[in-house]
């Protein structure tokens, strides 16, 4: 076995220091970046506190546009819109926040209050899937995914053990894990599908005429008001086809509403 020479030691220490230097530089650049968004966040909060809600909206929006997709930011943005009496935009951002923070008590309270301010009584009936997978309402897609991933790992690990060392405990463990795995996989599938096909949109204009066709000359079917949540079926030529849970359908101008789920919009 070859002994370490002084030259080798020097090379080792130099290499280690080099690695540390690279890591430090990376961390420092990351820190500098963090300081940037922190400042914007602080100034946005300060603006909100001092009643400069337009400025707060601008700054929160800037943070979101820069990639900080965060439920708390959406919540703050919703609050700022609410203070400006923009109930539609407040509900839009609260709903976006709700996708990311489904168990946040502040958000639930404020969203409930904002919903109370809307004019249209549109009930959101719970379907079979929502009733069966009731726990999904309180979990994010991320949580459901990692829960499923963990269970998946455990399940296959037990099966692997059983493949080489079959025993009674591996049999029972694999049966229990199989049941849990099926529930978790179905939950993840449902949640993923629901988020991918979430076509809910919020009416942002104070009052919107819902017409029979994508033309201002078409028959007025009914009216919707700011904050109402509708299902966006499709959009064409500056018009959007929307529907309500009670099967009312019609066309509204595209700029009068905005989709809640930004991932699918």
Contact set with other proteins (CB under 8 A)? 37-38, 41, 45, 48, 68-73, 75-76, 79-80, 82, 99-102, 106, 109-110, 113-114, 116, 140-143, 145, 148-149, 152-153, 155-157, 159-160, 163-164, 191-192, 195, 263
Nearer to other proteins, 2 or 165 (CB): 165
Half-sphere exposure of 223 (CA within 13 A, CB side): 7
Nearer to other proteins, 89 or 191 (CB): 191
CB 31 to other proteins: min, Å? 13
CB 191 to other proteins: min, Å? 8
CB 164 to other proteins: min, Å? 7
CB 141 to other proteins: min, Å? 4
Cα separation, 44 vs 77, whole angstroms: 10
CA nearest neighbour of 236 among 219, 218, 254: 254
Contact by Cβ (8 Å): 236, 214: yes
Sign of CA dihedral 40, 44, 45, 47: positive
CB 53 to other proteins: min, Å? 11
Nearer to other proteins, 138 or 219 (CB): 138
Cα separation, 60 vs 43, whole angstroms: 9
Cα separation, 199 vs 233, whole angstroms: 7
CB 224 to other proteins: min, Å? 23
Packing angle between helix 71-83 and helix 87-100, nearest 10 degrees?
170
> Which CA distances in Å does 100 have to 70, 103, 260, 261?
7, 9, 12, 11
Burial bucket for residue 227 (CB in 10 Å: 0-12, 13-18, 19+): buried
Contact by Cβ (8 Å): 195, 141: yes
CB 112 to other proteins: min, Å? 9
Nearer to other proteins, 191 or 244 (CB): 191
Nearer to other proteins, 69 or 253 (CB): 69
Nearer to other proteins, 132 or 264 (CB): 264
Nearer to other proteins, 66 or 216 (CB): 66
């Amino acid at each position: 076995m070859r002994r370490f020479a002084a030259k080798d030691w020097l090379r080792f220490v130099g290499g280690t220091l080099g690695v540390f230097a690279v890591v430090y530089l990376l961390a420092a650049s990351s820190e500098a970046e963090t300081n940037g968004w922190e400042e914007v966040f602080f100034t946005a909060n300060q603006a909100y506190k001092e009643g400069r809600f337009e400025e707060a909206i601008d700054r929160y929006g800037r943070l979101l546009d820069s990639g900080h997709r965060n439920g708390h930011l959406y919540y703050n943005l919703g609050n700022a819109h609410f203070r400006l009496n923009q109930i539609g935009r407040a509900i839009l951002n609260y709903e976006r926040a709700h996708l990311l923070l489904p168990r946040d008590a502040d958000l639930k309270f404020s969203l409930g209050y904002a919903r109370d301010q809307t004019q249209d009584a549109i009930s959101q009936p719970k379907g079979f899937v929502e009733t069966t997978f009731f726990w999904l309402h309180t979990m994010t897609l991320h949580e459901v995914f990692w829960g499923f991933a963990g269970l998946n790992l455990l399940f296959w690990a037990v099966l692997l053990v059983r493949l080489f060392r079959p025993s009674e405990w591996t049999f029972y463990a694999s049966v229990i894990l199989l049941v849990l795995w099926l529930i978790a996989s179905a939950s993840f599938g449902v949640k993923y599908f629901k988020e991918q096909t979430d076509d809910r949109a919020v009416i942002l204009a104070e009052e919107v005429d819902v017409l029979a066709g994508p033309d201002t000359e078409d028959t007025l079917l009914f009216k919707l008001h700011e904050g109402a949540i509708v299902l966006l079926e499709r959009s064409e030529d500056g018009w959007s086809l929307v529907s309500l849970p009670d099967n009312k359908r019609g066309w509204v101008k595209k700029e009068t509403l905005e989709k809640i789920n930004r991932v699918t919009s």
